[in-house]
Amino acid sequence: YVRAQLVPLIRDVRVSRVRSGVCSAGNKGAVAVRFELLQTSFCFVNVHLESGAEKANQRVSQLSAILRCFDDSRPRIPTAIEHDIFIVAGDLNVRLDIPPGTDTDEHFRDSLRDCWAEAARVSTNANGSVKGSMHARQAWRAFTRYDQLCAGTAQQLHALGVLEGPLEFPPTYRMVRGTDEYDRLRTPAWCDRVLYRAVGSRLLAY
C-alpha cells in the first residue's frame, strides 16, 4: 500500500521471486519488490530459508541466489543490493553452533528464563527512550557468538555494505504456542532477522 499523495511519484515497480527448498519446490525462497520514489530506489525482499542447524551452507547459497533476483531484469535496473534502500527480512532460519558435548545448551536455556517477561517490564520515559540498562541482566547476550549469521555470513554481507542491527531482543525460535516459554526439543535461536543497506540513513531501533 502507498499513501495516495505518493502514487504519482512512484515509478518502475518490479517484482521477482526465487523458489528454493526441496527440489526447488518453492516451500522456501523469497519474494521481492522494487520501485523508485523520486530519485531514491527501494528494494524489499521477504525470505524464508532452509531450516536446520546443519543447513547453514544451504542458507548461504539460497541467500546468494536471492540477492541476484533482479540481475536479469530488462530493461536493466540495479541489483538488489545496489538500491539506495535495500531491506531483506523474514525467517532466515539462522541457528546456533553450540559446541557438542558441552552443557552450553542448558546454560543458554537458563539465561533465557523469564527473558520475555523481563523485556516487557522495561519502562520508557516520556520521550520513548528506555530507562536503565538491561545489559547486565541479559546473560543470553553472550551466546550470540554462536549465532551462524553473526559468526560467518554477516562478514560476507558487510563487504557488500549489508548490515544488521545489534541483537537487542531474546531469541525468537522456538516458542511454545500461547506462552513465552521455549520448546524444550529445539535449541533457541534468532531465526527472524532484518538485514539492510541504506544510503544516507541510519538505524534507529531493532
Q: 56-71: per-residue pLDDT in tens?
A: 999 999 999 999 999 9
Please name which of 132, 129, 205, 137 lies closest in space to residue 166, comparing C-alpha atoms: 205
- pLDDT value at residue 131: 46
Between CA 137 and CA 118 the distance in angstroms is 9
Please name which of 131, 142, 74 lies closest in space to residue 108, comparing C-alpha atoms: 142
Mean pLDDT, the chain, as a whole number? Answer: 88
Does residue 23 have a pLDDT over 80? no
What mean pLDDT do residues 138-160 have? 87
Between CA 153 and CA 151 the distance in angstroms is 7
- pLDDT value at residue 132: 44
Cell 517484482: give the residue.
Answer: 15
Assess contact for 33 and 55: CB atoms under 8 A.
no
The answer to which of 114-118, 147-151, 174-178, 188-192 has the lowest mean pLDDT is 114-118
What pTM did the predictor assign?
0.86
What mean pLDDT do residues 185-193 have? 95
Does residue 143 have a pLDDT over 60? yes
DSSP conformation class of 151:
I
Q: Which of 118-137 are b and which e, b meaning 16 or more Cβ less than 10 Å from the residue's Cβ?
A: eeeeeeeeeeeeeeeeeeee
DSSP of 50-87: PPSGGGHHHHHHHHHHHTTTTTT-SS----GGGSSEEE
Q: 32-59: per-residue pLDDT in tens?
A: 999 999 999 999 999 999 999 999 999 9
- pLDDT value at residue 102: 83
Residue 40 host element (H or E): strand 40-48
Q: How many helices (H) and strands (E) does the chain have?
A: 5, 5
Does residue 81 have a pLDDT over 60? yes
75: preceding bond cis by omega (within 30 degrees): yes
Amino acid making up residue 54 = E
Assess contact for 175 and 99: CB atoms under 8 A.
no
Q: 89-138: per-residue pLDDT in tens?
A: 999 999 999 988 888 999 999 999 888 887 777 644 444 555 444 554 57
- pLDDT value at residue 71: 92
Tell me the three cell numbers of residue 94. 539462522
Strand order in the sheet with 28-37: 10-20, 28-37, 40-48, 85-91, 192-198
Handedness of CA 118, 120, 123, 128 (dihedral sign): positive
